[in-house]
Structure 1
Amino acid sequence: MPGLRSALPASDRITFPYTASPTACQRQPAHFSHEETSSPAAQTDIEQAKQLCAGCPIATGCLKWALAHPSDARLGVWAGTTTRDRTRLRQRLTDRLGTDWVTVVADREDQRREQRQAARHTPLTVHQARVICLDRDVNGPLPQRLRRLTPDEQQRNVRRMLAGLQARKAG
């Protein structure tokens, strides 16, 4: 339905992400509702909120929503960002993508969604199948129930990925 999506205002096309399990901000809203102040208690809560957001499965979608809806996300911590952080991010997006950056982001999101949907119906190429087999040989089969990676595991994976990219450039 690209025609219907483009008829909506861009900010309405960026919807708040959904998750079946309650997020940290839903379980502990007091940590996330502070204005930026110099009070030590507020700063502690803001730092705790940022740490909790780091492990949230919908943090990316939450940030897109908060950036596209500044009047609704005026205060508090959203996706690990404060009001000041979001203002700076909006300015950077405006500098990079123009004043209509929300439409650009919404269009990209629509395109990714359509590609994911098309990929469900498109068979893998030989190269893609080989990559999957190689991954399974090196890392073993995927667990039946995926678990969240710890921050150390995430950093290890980033280091491995960067090393692989460097080796690819060198080779």
Structure 2
Amino acid sequence: MNKRGHVLNAVLLSIGLGYVLDPSGDVSTFATIAEVFLPVVLGALFPDVDTAFGKHRKTLHNLPVLLIFLAHPVYHGGNLQWVWLGVLTHYVLDIVGSKRGIALFYPISSTEYGFPTGVTTSSDRAEIVTVAITIFELAAVAALVYVLPTYLPPGATELLTNAFGSVA
């Protein structure tokens, strides 16, 4: 996907995430959207910084980079906890929505992984693919927040609440 697709994904994801975390639809929902918006958008744009240096879809499009962003909230918390979600959804969009894929295991392997469902970044279907993937991502987040906790032991439920529920 191109920058426009990643921004579209992040904006729609932030709005949907606001409603998933705070479905009341009142001022608190909009406050939640505002709180997650900037970190998710920044996270969604970050992997493409590797177009300025290194190898695009390799240098910053891999699991070690994602693990750094996942570890950050554990040590620092706060609003930046949502940056990891932007990075993760960037990867999902590039793997599922793009023909090329990404090098998940770089620098160990330069092999790029992607689904056959992807389109080229210049395709006239790129935006519809982006919206469809965003709906899938929001469904996955909603399942993590509302369905999965009923099947988990209390300790794991508390961990999940800390990961997704601290904004709401």
Q: TM-score, normalised by structure 1?
A: 0.29
Q: Which has the higher contact order (CA 8 A, sep 6+)?
A: 2
Larger radius of gyration: 1
